[in-house]
Structure 1
Amino acid sequence: MEKLITSWSNFQSVPEDYIFPPESRPGNIKIPFSSSIPVIDLSDLNKGDRTSTIHKIIKAAQEFGFFQVINHGVSVNKMKETMNIFKEVFKMPDEYKQKLCTDEPTKPCKMFTSSINYATEKVHLWRDNLRHPGYPLEQWQHLWPENPTRYRECVGDLSVEVKELGSRIMNLMSEGLGLKYGYFDNDLTESMLMTVNHYPVCPEPSLTLGITKHSDPNLITILLQDDVSGLQVFKDGQWISVQALPHAFVINVGYQLQIISNGKLKSAEHRAVTNSDNARTTAAFFLAPSDDCKVEPAQGVTDEHNPPIFKSFKYKEFLDHYFDKYADTDVVLKSFVAP
């Protein structure tokens, strides 16, 4: 296992194997924040404004493929405490972090630098990553990091609240798509993977990337950010920056929701840039189907005038194909288009 970036010392420039080719570099990373990015206040649901809130969510998922939610009901104190613990993980002694680094493919909890394909990738990402399953707790929590000492308790509590938030959002989306309430309350949302990205201070952020351009393979992604911005979304042929709002979650539409909605909702292409002033930490909760779950356009969104665009498949089949074609977002969905 290669040494984590957080274990480096005294680097003044980006190593050559972290420098992206000119056409893939972020260049000017100081892209202005967009005021048009949807921010949806979920407290409006408690004010009897359900129809309007659903309309805003569907409109955002159609036009942007992502949006931010505020007043979402997840404990702000838990969000803050858990983010502090995530940051603490990457400050742990090198000996401890190296124990979390493993090439064993069956180990569910692991830490690595760049990506799981470090040995074969042409250019490395400027990030260290910790990932493990986040749901159900009784199946996975005992395999999570033991240190910091409150890691399992805090991350477990937040994971439960985030899973509940995901269910609420999916129920609002199902209503907006004309599907029955609870359409997604089954094996379509049985899995939740959690991945913590830590982007150390970078001496030359215009040359490298924290994460390359991609869309997520799952249903939706619920992203918790610290107060450092770095998320950029590709819309209408250009990159726009997403401001890190206090106590907000970013919701990304993934490929599975695009498929189930028969193309009515779209997955958002996005990337992460680094900066030379501050490290950045994010935690992404990937709400996804179980491996053997059958995914296909919902009957409620298809008819004789709107035939299915995509064919039926098992989620694991999609994942295998996705990671094979990860860098080429234009071709990921082509193998799953209906004949």
Structure 2
Amino acid sequence: MSTSPELDQMMKELKEIDDTKVGVRGLVDSGLSKIPKIFICPPEKITKNNDDTINSPLQQVPIINLEGFNQIPSRRAENVGEIRPALETWGFFQIVNHGIPTSVLNNLLRSTREFHEQPKEMRMEFYSRDNTKKVKYYSTGDLYQTKTAQWRDTLSCDFDDTTKIDLESFPEICRKEIGDYINRVNELNNVLSELLSEALGLSSNHFASLECFEIQRLLCHYYPPCPEPDLTIGIMKHSDPYILTILLQDNIGGLQIFHKNQWLDVTPVEGTLLVNGGDLLQLITNDKFKSVEHRVVTTKAGPRMSAACFIYLSKKNQSKPYGPVKELLSYKNLLIYRETSFLEYILYFASKGLDGVKALPHFRLTNSDN
């Protein structure tokens, strides 16, 4: 297949950055005052303020207080009643009093920073784009799919079985902190599985019975301060292809969600966790719960740290077909999506890259299919 000289040059530059194995952090350490050309995004992908993208401080993602939800029936019902409209309208909600000590959250953010700021020789040992590796460090996300480098580095940790975490394979500088955090998030994930089931009017164990609420991956992101933040982006606009994402972020800010045709800042609140529905959640709820697009803009402040925990199917179920929950269907709520497996979905999602076009519509039924 022939390629243009421009594309060939772009891919060459991408490979040169990748071959350094020191990421965006390495570029910053070199003292650059202007970002390399390969990081410059098309203006329409990073526009922060115009008629369609208004950065408004007046609206905030709903905050849900889980304190006492399991001891007081009325409190649990209140939480369910808050989660339902949050996922129907926002696709996001924040949770406080979630049971994870602030010290565990802070330790994970601290150790994430320590991993990314340790001598380059230490982090280079983990540098890889081999998707079969359970633990890997890489830069700029899906580098060869977006064709534009993104201003971030990532430590990725995969979990085959969240009840038996093999900490020895993780970098020593952060392995204990990751283990402590994942063990706590696993407990929270079970809670969310129940509350989301109830928010759909189903039995509390419905999602558990589908075996689709498993912690499978943790991405520890590092966004260095950027000398030209108006020219590049940390993560391009996208929706997550999973069931659920639980996000921990520091106090720097930069995360934005697309709500009512506006880009809204998600203002960090200490001690909170941000939860958002993914494409597969929207699919199996037949559009009841939404998977909303979001992005991370760059800043001269920082570095910014975040940790995204992805919830989806265990390996044994990733080839199993899943479709909209039958209990949610009726003559007023007709079937919208065909059945698909997680592997089929993620392969299609990956083949597109973060191109600003959602993958989910590809799996919608036509009118003749209903």
Query: Does the alignment reach a TM-score above 0.5?
Result: yes
Q: Which has the larger radius of gyration?
A: 2
Larger deviation: 290-299 or 259-268? 290-299
In the superposition, the TM-score normalised over structure 2's length comes to: 0.86
Contiguous gaps of at least 5 residues in structure 2: 1-17
Q: Could you say which residue in structure 2 is the equivalent of 1:166?
A: 189
Shift of 1:121: 3.8
- Cα distance in 1 for partners of 2:129, 2:90 equals 37
Q: Could you say which residue in structure 1 is the equivalent of 2:333?
A: 306
Shift of 1:190: 3.0
Q: Is the 8 A contact 1:109 1:130 kept in 2?
A: yes
Q: Could you say which residue in structure 1 is the equivalent of 2:287?
A: 263
- Which deviations, in whole Å up to 9, do the C-alpha atoms of 1:85-120 show, x marking residues without a partner? 1110001111111111024332121111102x3245
Q: Could you say which residue in structure 2 is the equivalent of 1:315?
A: 342
Q: Could you say which residue in structure 2 is the equivalent of 1:11?
A: 32
Q: Is the 8 A contact 1:133 1:140 kept in 2?
A: no
Report which of the two has the higher share of helix: 2
245, 248, 255: which is aligned to 2:272? 248
CA gap 1:173/1:120 in 2 versus in 1, 3 angstroms:
closer
Larger deviation: 201-210 or 120-129? 120-129
Amino acid at match of 1:229: G
Shift of 1:82: 1.6
- Which deviations, in whole Å up to 9, do the C-alpha atoms of 1:132-187 show, x marking residues without a partner? 11442525433222x21xx2222112101112212211211101101121112252
- Cα distance in 2 for partners of 1:144, 1:97 equals 11
- Cα distance in 2 for partners of 1:30, 1:144 equals 41
215, 237, 241: which is aligned to 1:217? 241
Give the secondary structure class of the aligned counterpart of 2:125.
helix
Contiguous gaps of at least 5 residues in structure 1: none
CA RMSD, aligned part only?
1.9
Q: Is the 8 A contact 2:56 2:263 kept in 1?
A: no
Residue 126 in structure 1 maps to residue 151 in structure 2: yes
Larger deviation: 125-134 or 242-251? 125-134
Q: Is the 8 A contact 1:131 1:196 kept in 2?
A: yes
Residue 56 in structure 1 maps to residue 82 in structure 2: yes
Shift of 1:314: 1.1
Residue 2 in structure 1 maps to residue 57 in structure 2: no
- Cα distance in 2 for partners of 1:89, 1:130 equals 8
Shift of 1:225: 0.6
- Cα distance in 2 for partners of 1:30, 1:92 equals 38
**Aligned residues: percent identity?**
30
CA gap 1:327/1:103 in 2 versus in 1, 3 angstroms:
closer
Q: Is the 8 A contact 1:296 1:312 kept in 2?
A: yes
- Cα distance in 1 for partners of 2:363, 2:356 equals 13
